[in-house]
Amino acid sequence: MGHYNILKSVQEDEEMSDIELYLFEVDKNKDEAQRIAAQSVSRLEAKTLKLIDLITSLEPYINDKDDGSIRAKTVTYLADVLSSLPARVLSGQERRLLCDFILGRIEGDAEGIGASARALTALEGMGKWDVATIQNVMRTFIENTHPLRQYKLQTERYALVQLIDLLLAKYRDALRQLHESDHEFMPGFISYFEGEKDPRNLMIIFSLLQVPMTEWDIHANAQDLFDSVFNYFPITFKPPPDDPYGITAQDLKDRLRDCIAANSDFAPYAFPQLLDKLDSTSMNTKRDVLHTIQACVVGYEAKTINLYSVTLWDALKFEILNVQEEDLAVESLKALGLIAAKFAESAEGPLNAYLRPIIKECNEHLEDAPTKQSEAAGRILHALASSAPAVADKIAKGILPVLFSLYNGSQSITKRRGLLEALNEIVAAYVKLDEVRPDLNVEALQAFASDALEAMIRALLHAPRAEVSFRLASLKGLSQLVSIRKALSEKETERAVDAITNIVLHEQIEGHGNIRAQAIEALTGVAHSVPLVVRDRSVPAFMVELPDEPSDVSAQAPVLEAFAYLSTERQVFDTVVLRLKNKYGSARHQEAPKTYQRSLLLALLYAFTFGAPMQEDGITRSTYYTEYAEPLLTDIASSGQGELEHSTLDVIGRIVNVLFRPQGAHFQSTVYNKNLQWLSSAVKDKAEAVSLAPFTLQYYAAIRPEVVDAEDLVSVLKAQSHLARQTTSDPGAIGTVLRHISLLVNKFVNPKTMQATLEASNIEVGALLSGTPAPQAIGAAFAVVKGLLIQGKSGALATRYLQALLELLASEGKDVGRHFATLLAPDDILSKENHCLVSGLYKQKIFNQAVPFMIEAVRTADTSIKPNYLIALSGILRWLPYSVIEPSLQSLIAPLLQTLDLNEPGEQEVKASALIIFESLLMHDPTVVAEHTASLVTRLLNSTTGPANNASVRAKALQCLALAPRQLKREAVVPYRRQVVKKLQACLDDTKRSVRTEAVKCRTAWLGLDEGNDDDE
Amino acid sequence: MDADKDNANPTILNPSDLPSRRRSTPAAKRPGIFDALAPAYPRLAEPPSSPEPSSASSDSDPDSDREEIDSQEIYDLISTISDPEHPLSLGSLGVVTISDIRITPPPSPRSRISTVTVLVTPTTSACSLTTVIGLGIKVRLMNALPPRFRVDVRIKEGTSRTADEVNKQLADKERVAAAMENLSLVGVVRTMLATCE
pLDDT reported for residue A557: 86
Least confident of A454-468, A491-505, A711-725, A950-964: A711-725
User: Are the CB atoms for A932 and A892 separated by under 8 Å?
Assistant: no
Q: Give the Cα separation of A241 and A253 in Å (integer).
A: 19
In this complex, the residue of B20, B26, B56 whose CB is nearest that of residue A510 is B26
Confidence label for A144 from pLDDT (cuts 50, 70 and 90): very high
Closest by CA to A703, choosing from A736, A742, A743, is: A743
Q: Residue A1014: its chain B contacts at CB < 8 A?
A: 183, 186
In this complex, the residue of A510, A991, A1004 whose CB is nearest that of residue B27 is A510
User: Are the CB atoms for A669 and A705 separated by under 8 Å?
Assistant: no
pLDDT reported for residue A331: 97
Chain A residue with minimum CA distance to B148: A989
- Which residues in A664-677 are b (16+ Cβ under 10 Å) and which e? eeebbbebbeebee
pLDDT reported for residue B59: 39
User: Are the CB atoms for B113 and B156 separated by under 8 Å?
Assistant: no
Q: Using omega within 30 degrees of 0 as the cis cutoff, is the peptide bond preceding A239 cis?
A: no
Give the model confidence (pLDDT) of A802-859 as tens digits. 999 999 888 866 788 888 988 988 888 999 999 999 998 899 999 999 999 999 999 9
Give the model confidence (pLDDT) of A319-339 as tens digits. 999 888 899 999 999 999 999
Residue B32 to residue A561, Cβ atoms within 8 A: yes
Most confident among A163-167, A435-439, B59-63 (mean pLDDT): A163-167
Bridge partners (DSSP) of residue B102 are B117
What are the backbone dihedrals phi and psi of residue B82, each rounded to the nearest 5 degrees, phi first?
Answer: -85, 145
SS3 B119: strand
pLDDT reported for residue B44: 45
Give the model confidence (pLDDT) of B99-117 as tens digits. 999 999 988 888 889 999 9
Give the model confidence (pLDDT) of A183-234 as tens digits. 999 999 999 999 999 999 999 999 999 999 999 999 999 999 999 999 999 9
Average pLDDT over residues B17-24: 71
Residue A906 to residue B45, Cβ atoms within 8 A: no
pLDDT reported for residue B22: 65
Confidence label for B52 from pLDDT (cuts 50, 70 and 90): very low
**A814-824 helix and A866-877 helix, angle to the nearest 10 degrees:** 10
The mean of the pLDDT values for chain A is 91
Least confident of A265-274, B40-49, B94-103: B40-49
pLDDT reported for residue B160: 77
Minimal CA separation from B3 to chain A, in Å: 12
Alpha carbon dihedral A659, A663, A668, A674, in 10-degree steps, equals -40
SS3 A441: coil
pLDDT reported for residue A644: 83
Q: What angle (nearest 5°) sits at the alpha carbon of residue A738, between those of residues A735 and A743? A: 125
Chain B residue with minimum CA distance to A468: B17
In sequence order, which residues have a C-beta less than 8 Å from that of residue A716 and are 6 or more positions away? A683, A700, A708, A744
- Residue type at A402 in one-letter notation: V
A662 or A324: which leads in pLDDT = A662
* R_g (Cα) of chain B, nearest Å: 22
Q: Give the Cα separation of A378 and A374 in Å (integer).
A: 6
* Residue ranges, CATH 1.25.10.10, chain A: 887-1017
User: Are the CB atoms for A668 and A707 separated by under 8 Å?
Assistant: yes
Residue B33 to residue A908, Cβ atoms within 8 A: no
Residue B45 to residue A779, Cβ atoms within 8 A: yes
pLDDT reported for residue A328: 95
In sequence order, which residues have a C-beta less than 8 Å from that of residue A405 and are 6 or more positions away? none
Q: What angle (nearest 5°) sits at the alpha carbon of residue A287, between those of residues A285 and A292? A: 95
Q: Domains (ranges, CATH) in chain B?
A: 68-197 (3.30.300.130)
CATH 1.25.40.10 fits A887-1017, yes or no: no
Q: Residue B16: its chain A contacts at CB < 8 A?
A: 468-469, 472
Residue A991 to residue B63, Cβ atoms within 8 A: yes
DSSP assignments along A321-376, one per residue: HS-SSHHHHHHHHHHHHHHHHHHHHS-HHHHHHHHHHHHHHHHHHHHT-SSHHHHH
Residue B33 to residue A606, Cβ atoms within 8 A: yes
pLDDT reported for residue A746: 94
Residue A24's H or E segment, with its range, is helix A18-25
Q: Give the Cα separation of A267 and A305 in Å (integer).
A: 8
- What is the percent of chain A where pLDDT is above 70? 97
Is the pLDDT at A23 greater than 80? The verdict is yes
Is the pLDDT at A587 greater than 50? The verdict is yes
Chain A residue with minimum CA distance to B72: A993
Q: Residue B33: its chain A contacts at CB < 8 A?
A: 561, 564-565, 606
Whether the model pTM is above 0.80? no
Q: Residue A782: its chain B contacts at CB < 8 A?
A: 45
Half-sphere CA count of A608, side-chain side, radius 13 A:
32
Q: What angle (nearest 5°) sits at the alpha carbon of residue A425, between those of residues A519 and A422? A: 95
Confidence label for B5 from pLDDT (cuts 50, 70 and 90): low
In sequence order, which residues have a C-beta less than 8 Å from that of residue A461 and are 6 or more positions away? A499, A502
Length of chain B: 197
- Residue type at A907 in one-letter notation: E
SS3 B102: strand
Most A CBs within 10 Å: which of B23, B49, B93, B98, as the mutation test of the A interface? B23
In this complex, the residue of B11, B148, B193 whose CB is nearest that of residue A371 is B11
Minimal CA separation from A268 to chain B, in Å: 30
pLDDT reported for residue A194: 93
Most A CBs within 10 Å: which of B67, B148, B197, as the mutation test of the A interface? B67
How many C-beta atoms surround the C-beta of residue A763 within 10 A? 25
Residue A647 to residue B38, Cβ atoms within 8 A: yes
Length of chain A: 1017
Q: Give the Cα separation of A673 and B137 in Å (integer).
A: 72
Most B CBs within 10 Å: which of A876, A1000, A1001, A1009, as the mutation test of the B interface? A1000
Q: DSSP code of B116?
A: E
Q: Residue B32: its chain A contacts at CB < 8 A?
A: 557, 561
User: Are the CB atoms for A632 and A605 separated by under 8 Å?
Assistant: no
pLDDT reported for residue A628: 96
B96 or A3: which leads in pLDDT = B96
User: Are the CB atoms for A260 and A230 separated by under 8 Å?
Assistant: yes
Q: Give the Cα separation of A863 and A860 in Å (integer).
A: 9
User: Are the CB atoms for A341 and A388 separated by under 8 Å?
Assistant: yes
The β-bridge relationship of strands B101-104 and A619-620 is unpaired
